[in-house]
Amino acid sequence: PLRAVAAMAAQDPATLDELNRIIAASEPLVPGATRAVLGEGPMSPRLAFVGEQPGDQEDLQGRCFVGPAGQLLDQALGEAGIERSQAYLTNAVKHFKFVQQGKRRLHQSPTTGEIKHYRWWLKKELGFVQPGFVVAMGGSAATALVGEVVQVMKHRGPAKFEGGQRGYIMPHPSYLLRLPDPAAKARAYAEFVEDLRRIRDLAA
Ligand code: URA
């Protein structure tokens, strides 16, 4: 993987399209994925959202945030008055990492090393996209954007990312999906929407 990253850096893409072609043609740096899932959205948006990695559905469909976590995010964005189509969405890691269990592919978190390998692409990508405000959803995105391991619940709120980029750290929507207790889930969802409302105001 290290050699792969060095080879990619040597290609030094001049545009987002060029970068995306390199990413799409790359071997997964994490085991298992069928394809790279690229970021999508307008250039120079007010807001960019960075997730962890594509999930099962994203890997199959080739688009980010289309599975259960993406649907929950869509609902929360709607409640917070943020238009998804106006924002840029991407992931810290561009390939799905999983273990096969029977017919199911179970999500595996990327290691800090894997996040670091993919970081070069994310930095280039955001450099081309030029968002005004960047949202890290979950620990992997926050770690990629800050440049060191970040605990989301401790640092939840407005943040300055590497290079002075204005942004915000918040939990990942799949964290809500994993909460078993309905009351805890409802509370966490309300806080999640509240994060997004703050983000909408900060990015305005
Ligand atoms: N979770 C993510 O972090 N990204 C996606 O694209 C889907 C689920």
Testing ligand 1's pocket by substitution, the residue of 37, 65, 140, 172 carrying the most ligand atoms inside 8 A of its CB is 65
Q: What is the pLDDT of residue 10?
A: 66
User: Which amino acid appears at position 26 of this protein?
Assistant: S
Tell me: the pLDDT tens digits for 111-154? 999 999 999 999 999 999 999 999 999 999 999 999 999 999 99
- The best mutation among 35, 52, 61 to test binding of ligand 1, ranked by most ligand atoms within 8 Å of the C-beta, falls on 52
Instruction: Give the ipTM.
Output: 0.91
State residue 33's pLDDT score.
86
Mapping DSSP onto H, E and C, the string for 2-70 reads HHHHHHHHHHCCCCHHHHHHHHHHCCCCCCECCCCCCCECCCCCCEEEEECCCCHHHHHHCCCCCCHHH
Q: Which ligand 1 atom is nearest residue 51's CA?
A: 3
Structure-block tokens of residue 28: 């997964």
Q: What is the residue type of 64?
A: C
Please provide the average confidence, as pLDDT, over all residues in the chain: 94
Q: What share of the chain is helix, strand, coil (3-state, %, to 5)?
A: 50, 20, 30
SS3 201: helix
What pLDDT sits at residue 203?
A: 97
Q: Give the model's pLDDT for residue 59.
A: 96
CA distances from residue 60 to 5, 36, 95, 106, 127 in whole angstroms, order as listed: 24, 10, 11, 14, 27
Beta partners for 166?
160
> Domain 2-203 classified CATH 3.30.1330.50?
no
What is the distance between the alpha carbons of residues 117 and 5, in angstroms, rounded to a whole number? 7
Ligand 1 centroid, distance to 91 Cα (angstroms): 7
- What is 80-101 written as a DSSP string? HT--GGGSEEEESS-S-BEEEE
Atom of ligand 1 nearest to the CA of 174: 1
Residues of the chain with confidence (pLDDT) below 50: none
Q: How far apart are CA 32 and CA 46, in angstroms?
A: 34
Task: Check residue 164 and report its DSSP letter.
Answer: G
Q: Which amino acid is at 12?
A: D
pLDDT value at position 135? 98
- Supply the pLDDT for residue 199: 98
Closest ligand 1 atom to Cα of 64: 6
Cα 153 to averaged position of ligand 1 atoms, centre (Å): 19
